[in-house]
Structure 1
Amino acid sequence: MTIEQLHIGEKGIIKDFLFSDVPLPLLEMGCLPGKVVELIQIAPLKDPIYIRVNGSDIAIRKETARQIEITKL
């Protein structure tokens, strides 16, 4: 399962990245394996989505969310 598949209010634990090169800003904002991620909001046009990780709210593109594998809580 990936972050993109979560519904608003659902949480998961980041398991792995499907990127060949993980974007550094994503790591700097706390998106690391083992961290809990929660889907907060989806933009009106369905992109970007807003997630909460490590106490920070982050906007990411659906394309990016599709590359972050999670285990649903």
Structure 2
Amino acid sequence: MAEQTLDNLHPGEKARILKILAKGTLRKKLMDMGVVPGSEIEAVRTAPLGDPIEFRIKGYNLSIRKQEAVNILIENIN
């Protein structure tokens, strides 16, 4: 499967998180919210203007801005 960043996942698609590219506080924030390598994540919906994007991970919904989502490397598992 091809690697891509989380901002490219469309509603209904599922992926596995491969790597967090962010550093520092953003990396810690994402990991504290459960966005960790190996986790499955599903795109739920995109806001009307395209930002933020709502995802389902570990049984809860999480909204992430596109500028944060580009720092998350995934592989599609659909």
Q: TM-score, normalization: structure 2?
A: 0.86
Instruction: Identify the structure with the greater helix proportion.
Output: 2
2:30 corresponds to which of 26, 45, 52? 26
Q: Is it true that 1:67 corresponds to 2:71 in the alignment?
A: yes
Gaps of 5+ in 2: none
Aligned length: 73
Is this contact kept in 2: 1:12–1:36, CA < 8 A? yes
Gaps of 5+ in 1: none
Q: Tell me, in whole angstroms, the C-alpha distance in 1 between the residues paired with 2:23 and 2:30.
A: 14
* Aligned structure 1 segments of 4 or more residues deviating by more than 4 angstroms: none
Q: Is it true that 1:39 corresponds to 2:59 in the alignment?
A: no
What are the Cα deviations for residues 12-68 of structure 1, in whole angstroms up to 9, with x where unaligned? Answer: 000001112252232122111000010001000100000111111001100111110
Q: TM-score, normalization: structure 1?
A: 0.92
Q: CA RMSD in A?
A: 1.1
